[in-house]
Amino acid sequence: MTTHTRVAVVGLGALGAAALWRLAARGVDVVGFEQFGIGHALGSSHGQTRLFREACLEHPGLAPMAAESRTLFRQLEQASGKELLRITGGYLIGSPESDVVAGTARAADAYGLPYERLDRAALAARLPQQAELPPDACGIHDPGCGVIDPEATVVAAVAEAARLGAAVHTHTTVETLEPGADGVRITAGGRVHTADAVIVAAGAWLPPFIPELELTPVRTPLHWFAPDRDGAGSATDFAVDRFPVIVRQTDPETVLWGHGAVDGGLVKLGIGDIWGERPPRIDPSALDRGVNTAEWRRLSALVERVLPGLDPVPARVEPCMITLSPDDQFVIGTSPASPRILVAGGDSGHAFKHCLAIGESLARDVAGEAQPYDLDFVRPGRFAV
Ligand SMILES: Cc1cc2nc3c(=O)[nH]c(=O)nc-3n(C[C@H](O)[C@H](O)[C@H](O)COP(=O)(O)OP(=O)(O)OC[C@H]3O[C@@H](n4cnc5c(N)ncnc54)[C@H](O)[C@@H]3O)c2cc1C
């Protein structure tokens, strides 16, 4: 028997779970399909933490989205009884003209967000774990930075959606979507469903559903480091309260990002991918889930140079993926495939902090509500020829 719902969501990672929750919160009849379990470690939304920043240097239009997400994180924390976003403050470091320092200041100034400028001496005093600060180094202290628990966020959003009436089908792969005059025919797990509208939030698996959008899934592993017990580092120096969120531009192409150990864990660090060379396209279902020494050698060398208190050999590595759009901004809203198919993807490595606001904006689209801030820079139509 065919079942019909007003909206179906394909993929319940960060973006799909958020859309499901925000639609269910409006009383919309909604069903979600997830090929794995909820909060799994096989897509883009696993690995214990994601950085949160409100003064987003990636695009000046992202600040209101991050602010709305912060409000919704607090709402989801209330509903779930779990801490999902821990505000730690953070340091954005580079030369005065660097993308990281100048871009963050631009976004903060545009939206009146508070921050503190630090010269090299102040920066070195606040973060003595750092080495090789060049003579022109300076920094911004952004009190709004923090760390998010990604798995707990996805689990909480889906649980809250289900509590509000959403149907959730886990371990059910959506095979085809066929939009027609009366709705969209969905085949999933060998059964047929229909919906008035479908939101495709399939992460790295999204491109074949909407080939009109040039989205490229790539492998981007997560790396964790431990203090070097024989060297200068100690667990206390690298706990998150002493070593909070950092984003340090070490040269025009290289950005080291990360944060100190949360609750006695490891220090998480990575190299900014969005400014560098594009990695090769991968097939997410055939992702190499092994650990590749060549892949972390560049990060390891950078850690050895600028954070000498850490053991430069990663203590833990986990595969992950991001999906790049041509301009490194998300792709959110009505797709070129059909007015009945909305898309939520092209995360480009920085969407987790915005996921709840993205879910809310998709719910507003479906409900025909006005958007409270500009979304043109993330609309799929910007790629239309
Ligand atoms: C190393 C790394 C570091 C990052 N750091 C940050 C950070 O600090 N801050 C930040 O904001 N962002 C960060 N990100 C980006 C952020 O994690 C992603 O933008 C976000 O998790 C993307 O969520 P998603 O919902 O698009 O994808 P996913 O979470 O992968 O969700 C897609 C879901 O769709 C499901 N699916 C796919 N196809 C089907 C199908 N046919 N049927 C049913 N289900 C299907 C998948 O199983 C999956 O669960 C980082 C990403 C990586 C990899």
Distance CA 55, CA 63 (A): 6
Contact status, residue 80 vs residue 127, Cβ threshold 8 Å: no
Nearest 5 degrees, angle CA 102-CA 103-CA 106? 85
Distance CA 288, CA 68 (A): 36
How far apart, in Å, are the Cα atoms of 338 and each of 180, 184, 192, 209? 9, 10, 19, 11
Distance CA 158, CA 330 (A): 22
**Using 50, 70 and 90 to split pLDDT, how confident is the model at 273?**
low
Using the structure block, give the residue that is written with the tokens 């600040």: 63
CA of 162 to the centre of ligand 1 (A): 20
Atom index in ligand 1 nearest the CA of residue 17 equals 25
Using the structure block, give the residue that is written with the tokens 């000498």: 308
| Ligand 1 contact via 16 beta carbon (within 6 Å) | yes
Which DSSP string do the residues of 96-114 spell out, in sequence order?
A: TTSHHHHHHHHHHHHHT--
Residue type, 382: R
CA of 319 to the centre of ligand 1 (A): 12
Using the structure block, give the residue that is written with the tokens 């779930």: 80
Q: Is the pLDDT of residue 232 over 90?
A: no
**Using 50, 70 and 90 to split pLDDT, how confident is the model at 47?**
very high
Digit-coded pLDDT (tens) for 279-332: 899 999 999 998 888 889 999 999 999 999 999 999 999 999 999 999 999 999
CA of 348 to the centre of ligand 1 (A): 10
Digit-coded pLDDT (tens) for 127-153: 999 999 999 999 999 999 999 999 999
| Ligand 1 contact via 13 beta carbon (within 6 Å) | yes
**Using 50, 70 and 90 to split pLDDT, how confident is the model at 377?**
very high
Q: Is the pLDDT of residue 275 over 60?
A: no
pTM for this predicted structure? 0.98
Contact status, residue 25 vs residue 363, Cβ threshold 8 Å: yes
Q: How many CA atoms lie within 13 A of 354 on its CB side?
A: 28
pLDDT of residue 209: 97
The three-class DSSP label of residue 133 is coil
> Quick one: DSSP state of residue 2?
-
Digit-coded pLDDT (tens) for 157-212: 999 999 999 999 999 999 999 999 999 999 999 999 999 999 999 999 999 999 99
CA of 321 to the centre of ligand 1 (A): 7
Mutate to test the pocket of ligand 1, among 38, 50, 54 (most ligand atoms within 8 A of CB): 50
Distance CA 282, CA 218 (A): 5
The tokens for 97 are: 């003209």
Pairing relation of β-strands 146-148 and 167-169?
unpaired
Contact status, residue 363 vs residue 23, Cβ threshold 8 Å: yes
Element (H, E) at 294: helix 293-306
The three-class DSSP label of residue 318 is strand
pLDDT above 70 covers what percent of the chain? 98
Atom index in ligand 1 nearest the CA of residue 204 equals 30
CA of 233 to the centre of ligand 1 (A): 33
Q: How many residues are recorded in the chain?
A: 385
Contact status, residue 216 vs residue 324, Cβ threshold 8 Å: yes
pLDDT of residue 371: 98
**Residues 6 or more apart whose Cβ sits within 8 Å of residue 94:** 100, 101, 137, 138, 139, 248, 249, 250
Q: How many CA atoms lie within 13 A of 121 on its CB side?
A: 0
Atom index in ligand 1 nearest the CA of residue 44 equals 30
Is 196 or 235 the better-scoring residue by pLDDT?
A: 196
pLDDT of residue 253: 86
CA of 13 to the centre of ligand 1 (A): 6
| Ligand 1 contact via 186 beta carbon (within 6 Å) | no
Map out the domains of the chain with their CATH numbers.
3-48+150-214+326-383 (3.50.50.60), 90-143+221-319 (3.30.9.10)
Q: What is the mean pLDDT of the chain?
A: 95
Mutate to test the pocket of ligand 1, among 45, 331, 353 (most ligand atoms within 8 A of CB): 45
Distance CA 141, CA 319 (A): 31
Distance CA 80, CA 347 (A): 25
CA of 9 to the centre of ligand 1 (A): 14
